[in-house]
Amino acid sequence: EDQVTQSPEALRLQEGESSSLNCSYTVSGLRGLFWYRQDPGKGPEFLFTLYSAGEEKEKERLKATLTKKESFLHITAPKPEDSATYLCAVQASYNQGGKLIFGQGTELSVKP
């Protein structure tokens, strides 16, 4: 069964304290792994798409990496405005319907 697990469930950081969020997945062939940011009461905001192991993408203080079993979202010197829930999702290669399988998210809180 395809599955996505994110850890930790919640993470509290001080401003400037770098850390990483983990997304472990099991899927029968990976077409893509997606990271989203979601603020309370809003829809998910797209961050990154990764397609193959070894791929990395960066945006401001965020860097996403991908291996054959997991993805990491590295946050360097975070600021309070980075506080949000970060969602990871995968799309399986056998699935021709565009279905995304989501993890439960990591709630990040950055204190000044």
Closer CB to another protein, 15 or 39, in the complex: 39
Site string (1-20) toward another protein, x via CB under 8 A: ---x----------------
Candidates 62, 64, 69, 67; CA nearest to 52 is 67
The verdict on 41 binding another protein (CB under 8 A) reads yes
How many Cα atoms within 13 Å fall on the side-chain side of residue 9? Answer: 1
Min CB(18)–another protein separation in Å: 27
Candidates 64, 75, 76; CA nearest to 32 is 64
Q: How far apart are CA 71 and CA 50, in angstroms?
A: 9
Q: Which residues bind another protein (CB under 8 A)?
A: 4, 30-34, 36, 41-46, 49, 51, 87, 89, 91, 95-105
